[in-house]
Structure 1
Amino acid sequence: MKLLPNHRAHDAQHLIQRWRVLARAAGCRIKTLCRAGDMPVIVLESAAAQAGEPAVYLSTGVHGDEAGSAWGLLIWAEKHIEDLKRGSFLIAPCLNPVGLRLNTRIDQRGFDINRRFHDSADALSGPWQQWVTGRAMRFGLCLHEDYDAQGIYLYELNHSPQTVGHDVIARCSRIIAPDPRRNIDGQRANKGVIRRRTLPTHLPGMPEAIELHVRGCPVTLTFESPSEFDFDTRVRVQVKFVESALALLV
């Protein structure tokens, strides 16, 4: 049974509407960070997060050509409404809705927003910073896809010397095998895990996961599924990633 018809993979309006329905069912508050063209950039806060409990941060839709990750987070949430009711979650379900609609990495301004999260003057990053500032976070999960990927992999930033990424990848490998490359995007990879010991200095701007880490989030995992694989399989592995990370980190 297909999770979603392929022709709806870039229907950002439908995606956002399903998040609105889910938010009502789970008792989450929806806020609009800003507008992207004619579309809202929404975020959700569970009741526990609103009350100030340390939250799990979940985000996707930063790059519009990575539809499997955007739908994967929604499908996970629709499967786990009771968890959203009980737990503390901050969710950014589609930070680049125009990019999703147009199937492009960039946003409606022509920017890769994953190099702008440091910029408090940016139309998106500024409101995003205001939203996360002062929030206690347990860990953050950023869902992405990669055109060049040969399997799944993740980036890990972790204040602890222990690495959780290998256990997460092992659970997800039942759906898609790990990327076998030993060097991915200039970073040393070990069976699908890139453990960053130092923050990169060569990037033109700050990615979301790194900005979260700098702001005190103790663990951030950025998950990448191969965007050229079957769409349903990619959605399922993204769901499995969130389930696996929550099981291992909560």
Structure 2
Amino acid sequence: MDWHAFLRDWSHASASRGFESKTFGEIGGFPLVASSKGDSSKPCIYLSSGIHGDEPSGPQALFRLLNEDFFDDRFHWLICPVLNPAGLEAGTRENLGGIDLNRDYCLCESEEVSSHIAWLEKQVIPQLFVSLHEDWESSGFYYYEINLGGAVADYKNLLAAAAPYFPPEPESVIDNHKVTEPGWIHHSEHPDLPEGWPEAIYLAKMGCPISLTFETPSSMALEKRVGCHQAMVRESIRCCL
């Protein structure tokens, strides 16, 4: 996929739907883009994707939702559709410097994360954070939830929304995390590694009350992964706000 073209298309499509986009950094000739829309007094939803360069379905899901006019006037929207564009272009999990960006939100060694945090600090604290990911080792769908006392995400409804695409991941331990229920990991606001903060941990430290990180199986068809992510964005917003 041509990620330069994707970002150009995102810019045009988002502007035509009332978003204001800001370039908060540049890496490897790619802009780092954040788009915002809506009254800041309304509940804020922040969505991100593309932080791992071997996980292309999230950005494509957000782009389809954009073209379907999903991002209406009910909420204040913040969207970072492609956090690791150079990694996506190269097809690597890490950025061009070999850094896993989703473990860099404490040390901030990468230009991508340091500039992203500078942008985040200027925004209102989201009431809901949704992050779209993939897992090369899973055979089914699963998600992480960090909840600091926000609305309770309905586990059964989330899995029902994913069911047309994937069953829940059957493993009882996923990436060294014991599941709360099949396909659901309730994670604390504390990182697994003291200095290896993911984006979701940083959002929790900011005070975001609920964070949902959705994982689709990379070995499955791209179309199904994209469709599942679209369904999860829709359902998470329906059940949490």
TM-score (norm 1): 0.89
Aligned residue for 2:117? Answer: 129
SS at match of 2:208: coil
Aligned partners of 1:33 and 1:124 also within 8 Å = no
Gap regions ≥5 residues in structure 2: none
Pick from 3, 17, 20 the counterpart of residue 11 of structure 2.
Answer: 20
Segments of 5+ residues of structure 1 without an aligned counterpart are: 1-9
CA contact (8 A) 1:156 1:165 kept: no
User: What percentage of aligned pairs have identical amino acids?
Assistant: 29
Answer whether contact 1:154 1:165 (CA < 8 A) is retained: no
Give the direction of change, closer, same or farther, for the CA distance of 1:46–1:119 in structure 2 (3 Å limit).
Answer: farther
Cα distance change of structure 1 residues 238 and 203 upon mapping to structure 2, 3 Å threshold: farther
Residue number among 219, 230, 235 corresponding to 1:244 in the alignment: 235
Conservation of the 8 A alpha-carbon contact between 2:143 and 2:184: yes
Cα root mean square deviation, aligned: 1.9
1:77, 1:156 → 2: CA distance?
A: 24
Give 1 or 2: higher helix fraction: 1
Letter in 1 for 2:93: R
CA–CA distance in structure 1, aligned partners of residues 186 and 172 of structure 2: 12
CA 1:122–1:54: 2 relative to 1, 3 Å: farther
Query: What SS does the corresponding residue of 2:130 show, helix, strand or coil?
Result: strand
Quote the residue 1:77 is aligned against: 66
**Which residue of structure 2 lines up, in the alignment, with residue 169 of structure 1?**
159
Contact 1:54 1:136 in 2 (8 A): no
> Cα deviations across residues 139-161 of structure 1 (Å, max 9, x unaligned)?
10000000001100000000238
Deviates more, 1:164-173 or 1:13-22: 164-173
Aligned length: 238
Deviates more, 1:13-22 or 1:214-223: 13-22
User: Retained in 2: the 8 A contact 1:60–1:92?
Assistant: yes
The correspondence of residues 139-154 of structure 1 with structure 2, limited to 5 A, is: 139-154=128-143
